[in-house]
């Protein structure tokens, strides 16, 4: 029987971390059907000189609403991303209460009409998404549903309700529970509340993914809290976008990784992810205390999205201040206190370049873009560039890790960790999520000034056996699926 598609003379990096091998790879009915010698196929693809690997997994995304709003998911697909984990940093589109007034920055978006994870998945599938999606359930969302923006620890009754929603979502296929403990309202929780919820996810096999309470001066305390939560709740721990933020704290990731190593050596199960950039990004009002505006910090802030002042998008706070003849403090105040000020997204340069390499060298480190899919404005370039930047800059140009190892972290390791069954290897019987790329030319092209540029060096991306992108052209195949924990969906 002829295969649907065969890659001839490919150099296969299969995602296991093992050495590359020369092989033909066949795809039939959405799965890899042969590796080595392959039969004739309806479509023959000359892969000589190119690497064929499993599709990449973005372990840290915020694309919950993007699956509804931008189902073509071009910014991820063009990077070779075929699956991703949404619902990070405590913000998830499901569960959802359509009857509740949405918070201005609700990741579900204003038109969300679903309640459960299953209903959200169904809404996504109706849009025929280009790539696969798996979901964490966010603490900030559960808390908003239980007690709005209350600035206090949750009551026993509220915790019980949050557990109920989370437990149902886990049954419907969520891969775990996420927190964003610097954000509202999650920051008002005490550790016990988080332990209770992490336990609910852990009982179903899911993991606890955390944007920790502090990523700067008190990073080590925050790591201790995360480890304590994992130990008490019995859940696996995943530390999101690991960093030591703020110039005076640079280098701090070494001590933090040492804590992770010690905990793992004592029998715990901790992994992490990182994005390959020295700037972070997020909702600006959440980083600012209006009574004490940090001028030093503000000098290194770039505005990504600002509905009240579109003309500021792509400008730094000092540029805005000088154009408008404002003090730095006044510029900060203006952009976050207008009618839609809470929707302002900023990019802030807070990370040490050397820390990125330290992170990437760590064997339990995966890659998560943390991209914010707001295409109006000037998003952080990580939205478009993360995976090729790791492979082109950190692997090829800097030699920080081998290509085989980088691919393993982006594929089989991520699939295993987040329970994406039947994916992450170029192996007979596995789902045909594949990337064909040139290891000599793959590179990100998105920059802070021109962030919406697709990367170079990626020839083809296949999702569930269908060609989704080829030579820079998005085919609109729409073959993505919603992935449930541990199920070969």
From 24-32, 85-93, 160-168, 260-268, span contacting Zn ion (CB under 5 A): 85-93
Among 403, 348, 360, 315, which Cα is nearest to 182's?
Answer: 348
Q: Using CA atoms, how far apart are residues 38 and 187, in angstroms rounded to an integer?
A: 55
Residue 367 and residue 407 in contact, taking contact as beta carbons nearer than 8 Å: no
261-270 LR contacts (CB < 8 Å, sep 24+): 263/227, 264/364, 268/227, 268/230, 268/231, 268/237, 269/230, 269/236, 269/237, 270/227, 270/230, 270/236, 270/237, 270/238, 270/239, 270/364
Shortest Cβ 97–Cu ion spacing (Å): 22
Q: Which is nearer to Zn ion, 64 or 158 (CB)?
A: 64
Select from 3, 65, 89, 350 the one that contacts Zn ion (CB under 5 A).
89
Count the alpha carbons within 13 Å of 268 in the hemisphere toward its beta carbon: 26
From 43-51, 87-95, 114-122, 218-226, span contacting Cu ion (CB under 5 A): 87-95
Residue 117 and residue 101 in contact, taking contact as beta carbons nearer than 8 Å: no
Number of residues that bind Zn ion (CB under 5 A): 2
Q: Using CA atoms, how far apart are residues 49 and 488, in angstroms rounded to an integer?
A: 32
Q: How far is CA 393 from CA 107, 251, 399, in A?
A: 31, 21, 8
Q: Which is nearer to Zn ion, 6 or 93 (CB)?
A: 93
From 5-13, 88-96, 139-147, 440-448, span contacting Zn ion (CB under 5 A): 88-96
Q: Give the one entry of Zn ion, Cu ion, none that residue 313 binds, where binding means its C-beta sits below a cut-off of 5 to 8 angstroms depending on kind.
A: none
Please report, as residue ranges, which positions from 313 to 372 form the binding site for Cu ion (by CB under 5 A). 370
Helices (H), 241-340: 253-265, 295-298, 317-324, 328-337
Q: Which is nearer to Zn ion, 89 or 223 (CB)?
A: 89
Q: Using CA atoms, how far apart are residues 193 and 16, in angstroms rounded to an integer?
A: 37
From 87-95, 129-137, 245-253, 471-479, span contacting Zn ion (CB under 5 A): 87-95
From 195-203, 210-218, 397-405, 450-458, span contacting Zn ion (CB under 5 A): 210-218
Residue 32 and residue 4 in contact, taking contact as beta carbons nearer than 8 Å: no
Binding mask 45-84 for Zn ion (x = CB under 5 A): ----------------------------------------
From 84-92, 272-280, 382-390, 442-450, span contacting Cu ion (CB under 5 A): 84-92
C-alpha angle 65-209-429 in degrees, rounded to nearest 5: 75
Mapping DSSP to helix (H, G, I), strand (E, B) and coil, where does residue 382 land? helix
Q: Which is nearer to Cu ion, 28 or 285 (CB)?
A: 285
Q: Which is nearer to Zn ion, 71 or 180 (CB)?
A: 180
- How big is the chain by its Cα radius of gyration, in Å? 22
Shortest Cβ 262–Cu ion spacing (Å): 26
Select from 27, 85, 89, 159 the one that contacts Cu ion (CB under 5 A).
89
Q: Give the one entry of Cu ion, Zn ion, none that residue 45 binds, where binding means its C-beta sits below a cut-off of 5 to 8 angstroms depending on kind.
A: none
Q: Give the one entry of Zn ion, Cu ion, none that residue 92 binds, where binding means its C-beta sits below a cut-off of 5 to 8 angstroms depending on kind.
A: none
Q: Which is nearer to Zn ion, 89 or 435 (CB)?
A: 89
Shortest Cβ 197–Cu ion spacing (Å): 18
Q: Give the one entry of Cu ion, Zn ion, none that residue 320 binds, where binding means its C-beta sits below a cut-off of 5 to 8 angstroms depending on kind.
A: none
Select from 143, 211, 445, 484 the one that contacts Zn ion (CB under 5 A).
211
From 23-31, 67-75, 85-93, 227-235, span contacting Cu ion (CB under 5 A): 85-93
Q: Using CA atoms, how far apart are residues 106 and 112, in angstroms rounded to an integer?
A: 10
Q: Which is nearer to Zn ion, 143 or 445 (CB)?
A: 143
Binding mask 436-455 for Zn ion (x = CB under 5 A): --------------------
Beta-bridged to residue 181, according to DSSP, are none
Check binding of 88 to Cu ion (CB under 5 A). Answer: yes
- What does the block give as tokens for 34? 């042969």
Q: Using CA atoms, how far apart are residues 348 and 279, in angstroms rounded to an integer?
A: 5
Q: Using CA atoms, how far apart are residues 198 and 139, in angstroms rounded to an integer?
A: 10
Beta-bridged to residue 301, according to DSSP, are 348
Q: Which is nearer to Zn ion, 142 or 468 (CB)?
A: 142
- What does the block give as tokens for 124? 């996504």
Residue 467 and residue 119 in contact, taking contact as beta carbons nearer than 8 Å: no
Shortest Cβ 414–Zn ion spacing (Å): 17
Give 292's contacts (C-beta < 8 A, 6+ positions apart): none
Shortest Cβ 446–Cu ion spacing (Å): 18
Give 157's contacts (C-beta < 8 A, 6+ positions apart): none
Shortest Cβ 62–Cu ion spacing (Å): 6
Shortest Cβ 138–Zn ion spacing (Å): 11
Mapping DSSP to helix (H, G, I), strand (E, B) and coil, where does residue 195 land? helix
Give the helix/strand (H/E) hosting 21. Answer: strand 21-28
Give the interface with Cu ion as residue ranges (CB under 5 A). Answer: 88-89, 370
Q: Which residues bind Zn ion (CB under 5 A)?
A: 89, 211
């Amino acid at each position: 029987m002829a295969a649907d598609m065969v890659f001839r003379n490919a150099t296969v990096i299969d995602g296991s971390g093992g050495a590359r091998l020369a092989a033909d790879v066949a795809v039939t009915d959405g799965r890899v059907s042969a590796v080595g010698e392959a039969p004739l196929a309806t479509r023959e693809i000359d892969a000589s000189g190119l690497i064929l690997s499993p599709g990449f997994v973005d372990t840290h995304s915020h694309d919950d609403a993007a699956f509804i709003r931008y189902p073509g998911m071009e910014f991820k697909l063009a990077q070779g991303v075929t699956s991703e984990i949404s619902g990070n940093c405590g913000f998830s589109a499901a569960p959802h209460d359509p009857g509740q007034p949405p918070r201005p920055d609700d990741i579900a978006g204003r038109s969300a009409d679903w309640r459960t994870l299953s209903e959200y998945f169904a809404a996504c599938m109706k849009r025929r998404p280009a790539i696969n999606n798996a979901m964490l359930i966010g603490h900030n969302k559960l808390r908003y549903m239980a007690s709005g923006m209350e600035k206090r620890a949750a009551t026993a009754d509220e915790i019980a309700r949050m557990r109920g929603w989370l437990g149902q979502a886990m049954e419907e296929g969520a891969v775990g529970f996420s927190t964003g403990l610097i954000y509202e309202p999650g920051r008002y929780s005490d550790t016990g509340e988080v332990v209770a919820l992490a336990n609910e996810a852990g009982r179903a096999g899911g993991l606890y993914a955390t944007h920790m309470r502090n990523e700067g001066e008190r990073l080590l305390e925050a790591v201790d809290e995360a480890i304590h939560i994992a130990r008490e709740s019995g859940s696996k721990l995943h530390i999101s976008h690991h960093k030591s933020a703020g110039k005076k704290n640079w280098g701090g990731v070494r001590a933090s990784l040492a804590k992770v190593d010690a905990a793992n050596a004592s029998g715990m199960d901790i992994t992490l992810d990182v994005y390959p950039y020295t700037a972070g990004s997020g909702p600006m009002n959440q980083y600012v205390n209006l009574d004490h505006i940090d001028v030093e910090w503000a000098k290194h802030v770039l505005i990504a999205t600002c509905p009240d002042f579109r003309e500021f998008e792509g400008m730094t706070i000092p540029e805005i201040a000088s154009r408008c003849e404002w003090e730095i403090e006044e510029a900060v105040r203006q952009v976050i206190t207008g009618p839609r000020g809470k929707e302002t997204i900023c990019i802030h340069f807070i990370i040490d370049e050397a820390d990125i390499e330290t992170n990437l060298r760590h064997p339990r480190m995966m890659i998560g873009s943390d991209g914010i899919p707001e295409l109006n404005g000037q998003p952080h370039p990580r939205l478009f560039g993360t995976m090729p930047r790791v492979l082109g800059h950190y692997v090829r140009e800097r030699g920080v890790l081998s290509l085989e190892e980088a691919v393993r972290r982006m594929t089989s390791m991520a699939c295993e960790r987040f329970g994406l069954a039947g994916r992450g290897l170029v192996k007979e019987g596995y789902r045909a999520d594949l990337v064909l790329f040139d290891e000599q030319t793959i590179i990100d092209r998105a920059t802070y000034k021109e962030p919406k540029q697709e990367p170079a060096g990626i020839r083809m991306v296949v999702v569930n056996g269908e060609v989704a992108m080829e030579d820079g052209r998005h085919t609109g195949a729409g073959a993505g699926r919603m992935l449930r924990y541990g199920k070969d969906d």
